[in-house]
Chain A
Amino acid sequence: MADRHADLIAALRAAGHDLDLPDRDPTAVALTRIRTEGRTAAPSPADPGRAGRSRRAGRRWLGLAPAAGAPPGLVPPPARARWVALAAAAAVVLAVVLAAPGARQAVARLLGIGGVRVTVTGDPPGDLGRALDLGDPLPVDEAVAAAGGAFDTPFPSPPGDPALAFAGRPDGAVSLVWPAGEGLPALEESEVGLILTVFPTDGAVPSGDPGDPDDPGGPLVEKQAGPGTRVTAVQVGPHHGYWLSGAPHEVRDGPAGGGGPPAAGAGARLAGNTLIWADGATTYRLESGLERAPAIALAEALTGATG
C-alpha cells in the first residue's frame, strides 16, 4: 500500500511540512493563561479552577460546591472530604469489600478484556469495607479533555453532562459521574445514577504477577464475581465486552503502573450492574442501575461506539 501510493504519501508529507501556521504562538498564549490564573501548581483536584466554575451548579447536587451567595468568609470543607462523606452514606450500594482469601482461591474461570481481569469465583465476595474511591476529583471539562477522544461530546441528553469527575484510579483513569435522573435510575438509595470510567491499556490483560516476564503491565482492574453475579459476553458497537449483573461484584484497582496484583483490601468496592469493553488501547467501565440493553445503548451514545 505504502509503495503503491508512495508519491501521494510524499505529497501529503510535503504539504504537512509547508502548512501555514500563523505567527501567533498558541504555546506562549497557553502558558500565559496558565500563569495568570493565579497559581503555578498543576490544578489541585479540590480546586475546580476556571473551567470548573460552570460545573459548580452540577456539583451542588452532591453538596460538593457552595451555593451561590454563600458568605465569602465561609470556606467549604475540601471537596474530597465531602465526597468521602457522601460515598460513605452511599455505602449500601457502592461499598467496599475486603478480599476474602477463600474467594480468591476458588477461581472457577477467568475472563479478560484490556486491562480488566474478571475472576468468577465459587464464593461470594467478602465483608464490607470502606467507601467508593474513584481517585482525585477534578473539573469535568479537564477530565473530558484528559481522556482525549474517549468520550463522544457533547454528551447526549439524557443523561446530559456529568456532574463530577475523578482521575487516578486505576492509574491513568478518568471517571465521570452522573446523578440519577430521567432514564437513569438511582443506584439503590444513593443519588448516583451512572459512573463511566475510561483508562488506557495496550489491549492485553495483565496477569497481575510482578514476576511474570510476559505480563504486559498497565493498569489492572480486577473484578471478582461471586456465584450470584452473571457474566455475559456482549458487543458494545463493534467492540467486545462483558456485562456483569445480578449480585454486586468486587472491583479492585491494581497498583500504579501495573506490575502487581491489586493489594488485599486496597481500593476494593462492590459494584452493581457493570458493562466493560475495550476499544483498542482504551478500556471502558460503565456502572449503573440500568438493565443490559439500555446500558449498552447509553455506553454507545456516550463513547461514540457505533461504527
Chain B
Amino acid sequence: MEGRSSADEDVLVTRAKEGDVDAYAVLLGRHQVAARRLAAALCGSASADADEAAQDAFVKAWYGLAGFRSGAPFRPWLLRIVANEARNRRRSSGRRAGYELRFATDRVAPQAAPSAEAAALVTESRRELVAALADLPAAQRDVVVCRHLVGLSEAETAQVLGLAPGTVKSRTARGLRRLHDLLAARTGDGPDG
C-alpha cells in the first residue's frame, strides 16, 4: 500500500474520479482513522477543530481528484490534503492555541492499566508526553507525530508533509532526542529510563 496502490484501490479511485460517490466513501472508510488521527495530531486538538479539518479535507479531496495521478497510492495523497487543512487551521488559530490531545480512557489497554492506580499513572504519563510534544518545535513535532503517533512510514510522512525523505529522517531523530530530553527534564526521568 505504501509505494504503490493496490489494483482494488485503483479501481475505486477510477470510479471516484468518474463521479462515483459510493466508491469514494469506500476509499474514505479505509483511511479515515489515520486521517482523523493525523488531523488531531497536527491541529494539537482532538476536538471539533480537527474533525472539521478532516471533513473539509475529505470534501476538497473529492473536488481535487482530477489532479490525482492515476496509479499513485491514494492514502498519502489524501493525508497530505488532511495535513494541509489541519496545519492551516493551526496556523490561523495562531499563538492563542496550545497543543492539546485527549485520550479515550476507556480504550487504555488493560495490560497497561491493571489497576486504578496504574491507569492514573498512564494518564499522568500521557499528560507529560503531550506537554513535552507541545514544547517541541512545530517542524520536529509534525514529523514525530506523523511517524510515531499516527504510524506513517518515512516515505508517507515525506509525501504528507511535503518534505524530502532525508529531512524526515533527520527531523525524526532530532525530534525524538529533544522529546526525550524534555520528558526527562519534566519528570526527572524520561520514558526510556
- Give the distance in Å from the alpha carbon of A89 to the alpha carbon of B24 in the complex: 39
Is there contact, CB below 8 Å, between B148 and A16? yes
Interchain CB contact under 8 A, A142 and B150: no
**Pairwise interchain contact A16-B37, C-beta atoms closer than 8 A:** yes
Q: How far is the CA of A167 from the CA of B107 in the complex (A)?
A: 43
Whether B57 and A145, one on each chain, are in contact in the complex, defined by CB atoms closer than 8 angstroms, is yes
**Which residues from chain B contact A167 at a C-beta distance below 8 Å?**
64, 66-67
B148→A22 contact, CB < 8 A = no
Chain B residue at smallest Cβ distance from A11 = B191
Chain B interface size range: 35 or more
In the complex, whether A153 has a CB less than 8 A from a CB of chain B is: yes
A interface residue numbers (CB < 8 A to B): 1, 4-9, 11-22, 24, 26-27, 29-31, 33-35, 39-43, 45, 49, 51, 136, 138-139, 141-150, 153, 167-168, 171-174, 200, 203, 219, 256-257, 279-282, 307
For residue A259, give the distance in angstroms from its CB to the closest CB of chain B: 11
> Within the assembled complex, what's the spacing in Å between the Cα atoms of A279 and B162?
8
A-side contacts of B29, CB under 8 Å: 27
- Chain A residues within an 8 Å CB radius of B176: 1, 5, 8-9
Residues of chain A contacted by B105 (CB below 8 angstroms): 18
Contacts of B61 in A (CB 8 A): 145-146
Tell me, in angstroms, the Cα distance from A282 to B66 when the chains sit together.
18
CA distance A307 to B162 in the complex (A): 13
B32 in the interface, Cβ–Cβ < 8 Å?
yes
Question: Smallest Cβ distance from A78 to chain B, in angstroms?
Answer: 15
Given contacts A16-B148, A27-B54, 20 further A-B contacts (CB under 8 A): A7-B193, A14-B109, A15-B129, A18-B108, A20-B103, A21-B36, A21-B40, A24-B51, A27-B32, A27-B55, A33-B59, A41-B18, A45-B66, A142-B60, A146-B60, A148-B159, A200-B72, A257-B70, A280-B164, A281-B158
Closest 10 CB pairs of A and B: A146-B64, A172-B69, A148-B80, A41-B19, A280-B164, A145-B60, A30-B58, A167-B67, A26-B55, A16-B149
Contact between B72 and A31 (Cβ–Cβ < 8 Å)? no
